[in-house]
Amino acid sequence: MAFSYACVSLPISICTQPLLKRSQTTLFSSWRAYGPKYGIISAKKSLPFSLRIRSMASDLSSEAVVPRSVPVRVAHELLQAGHRYLDVRTVDEFNAGRPVGAINIPYMFKVGSGMSKNPNFLEEVSSVFGKDDEIIVGCQSGKRSLMAATELSSAGFTGVTDIAGGYSAWVQNGLPMEQ
């Protein structure tokens, strides 16, 4: 039985108690399930840094990157400071209303009654944004944007920030939008 550790990458490593490794593909979900139990910082909290989760198991070579997540008011301030807004909602959701200046690249497509991941997401983002651009990623409620931001960070995008609460929180806070 292999164990994994969740670590925060700072000048020093701060590691938590061991987490039971279920499989290579479920390290992130294991962290989400067991992290709060062992006092690991939740990805939903606003972090001034990215959280990297590494396995100490010899058979796991990949690394999950959880980008920082900020409230919508902070995201709005970042936009005013020059960051760019990547809206990962569907085209229909985007056309119904969006933050001013947002660029739409869907992370998922609506397929029947479900959703399917956009297989060209990284390529489409790479055609609009550079790896070092400051990107704020938002969706409707915060779930798709966290998945998209995590994928972008893992792909080498260094300035990725997730918007906690998504467009719903943006509207609730009365922040600027357009249709």
Whether residue 164 contacts residue 74, with contact meaning beta carbons closer than 8 Å, is answered with no
pLDDT at position 147: 94
pLDDT above 60: residue 42: no
Catalytic residue selected from 40, 86, 105, 139 = 139
Mean pLDDT score, 160-166: 95
| Fold classification of 68-178 (topology level) | Oxidized Rhodanese; domain 1 (3.40.250)
Whether residue 85 contacts residue 74, with contact meaning beta carbons closer than 8 Å, is answered with no
For residue 63, what pLDDT band results from cuts at 50, 70 and 90?
low
Question: Does residue 7 have an active-site annotation?
Answer: no
Task: Look up the pTM and report it.
Answer: 0.66
Q: Where are the domains positioned within the chain? A: 68-178
- Top-confidence range, 6-10, 63-67, 147-151: 147-151
